[in-house]
Amino acid sequence: MEMAARRALADLKVGDAVARIPKLTCLTIMTSGARDMIQGAGLDGSLGLAVAVMYERSLGEQSPWAPYLAALPEQEPIPLVWSADEVEELLRGTELHETVKEDGGVMWEDWKESIEPLLPQIGSEFRSFFGFQHYLAARTLIASRSFQIDDHYHGVGMVPLADIFNHKTGAEDSSPSLSADDISVSHDVDDDLEMIMVKDVKLGAEVFNTYGLLGNAALLHRYGFTEPDNPFDIVNIDLELVLQWSASLFSGQHRRARLSLWRRLGSSNGFIDSILSVKSGKLSHITAELSETLLLTKTICKALLSLADLRESLYGENSIEDDIEALRRCCCIRDKKLYHSLMLRISERKILQKFRVFASSSSQVRTGEQASKRKKLKRK
């Protein structure tokens, strides 16, 4: 979800309220004309809100939110609504590939189990607004634009005005002149939502709202865009890849025993935790942890390199240099899907490059230490 820059029309200070939005103007389950139907069906959260959005859209100009809904796109171009071919071609090997393929099945089950049974309660002239594709479209808007309004009454909802600001990741560490993460949303002011400045912003500077400290996979999945040099990018090495690697080295009995041990440890302890989840901005911390707790042997370093190669192979035949060149030729406006999928893949492959450098250098250090120890023993 990429929008035009929202710039300050005056110098803004920390604590300044730049918007006050009454909760009753927000589109929620509780404010929608479909409230009784939604609650009667026991729906809540994003599923219930999707029904509210579809219902208000079906009313057209009669809906209290007609101007707001008219200003929104039919759907946001997040991977949830990409074609199967696009998902396979553009996301193969990335953190999103399997997740997006599963999303479609989950959404279909939700629609069949929760939305389709509501159709008899809806007038025949409105039923066409509640089809599966309309449900997917509503879910894309909710994924990219909704806010948690409160915990006990409205819950999640669509908040006019609050959803028009651009995002910037990791803004808490930026200087005030960058205007990043400038807004917070308060939920407790006289049944109004307030957008309050959390950083000083100069006249003419862009004002950002942060969507959270999210890596590119999460940003593309939910909002449909990525960011260059995102410090929160992450690459997972699935346990199946670890088992695939070990199959050529160990007996089935040995592998089953180790797998049983890892599962008892929750697959989140020491070596397994560090290998299976490598985060761009945290690589140095992870590698230090490994060095301290595991005494990285040459064998373990070789295993890390093999796992990195297996993970890299999931992206297909193109190299990272091929991807970088394709990104250079790509237009981020005209070819948004290709552009952001390339950004995601490149960011992940750069992490794997760092991981290889770490494993290689650690192996050399360990080899050097062992050689040094042998020399000392000879001298003695």
Q: For the domain that residue 189 is a member of, what is the CATH number?
A: 2.170.270.10
Percent residues over pLDDT 70 in the chain? 75
Give the residue among 292, 255, 252 at the shortest CA–CA distance from 271.
292
Same domain, yes or no, for 175 and 274? Answer: no
**56/69 Cα distance (integer angstroms):** 8
Backbone phi, then psi, for 209, in 5-degree steps? -120, 140
H-type helices in 92-213, by residue range? 97-110, 132-145
**88/108 Cα distance (integer angstroms):** 19
Tokens representing 211 are 């969507």
Same domain, yes or no, for 242 and 305? Answer: yes
Q: Which residue has the higher pLDDT, 36 or 303?
A: 36
Tokens representing 56 are 């208000």
User: What CATH code is carried by the domain that includes residue 133?
Assistant: 3.90.1410.10
**At 271, is the pLDDT very low, low, confident or very high (cuts 50, 70, 90)?**
very low
pTM for the full predicted model: 0.79
Is the confidence at residue 318, as pLDDT, over 60? yes
**191/110 Cα distance (integer angstroms):** 32
In this prediction, residue 298 carries a pLDDT of 79
Same domain, yes or no, for 238 and 307? Answer: yes
In this prediction, residue 312 carries a pLDDT of 94
* Residue 229 within any structural domain of the chain: no
Give the residue among 330, 341, 321, 352 at the shortest CA–CA distance from 91.
341
**352/358 Cα distance (integer angstroms):** 10
pLDDT per residue as tens digits for the range 124-137: 889 999 999 999 99
Q: Which residue has the higher pLDDT, 204 or 54?
A: 54
**154/44 Cα distance (integer angstroms):** 10
Same domain, yes or no, for 44 and 153? Answer: yes
Same domain, yes or no, for 154 and 168? Answer: no
Q: What is the mean pLDDT of the chain?
A: 81
Q: How many domains does the chain have?
A: 3
Same domain, yes or no, for 299 and 246? Answer: yes
Owning domain of residue 287? 234-379
pLDDT per residue as tens digits for the range 320-356: 999 999 999 999 889 999 999 999 999 999 999 998 8
* Residue 221 within any structural domain of the chain: no
* Residue 82 within any structural domain of the chain: yes
C-alpha of 326 from chain center: 23
* Residue 349 within any structural domain of the chain: yes
Same domain, yes or no, for 193 and 145? Answer: no
- Beta strand residue intervals within the chain, DSSP E: 17-22, 146-148, 156-158, 183-189, 192-197, 234-236, 277-279
The C-alpha angle 233, 334, 158, rounded to 5 degrees, equals 65
Same domain, yes or no, for 208 and 123? Answer: no
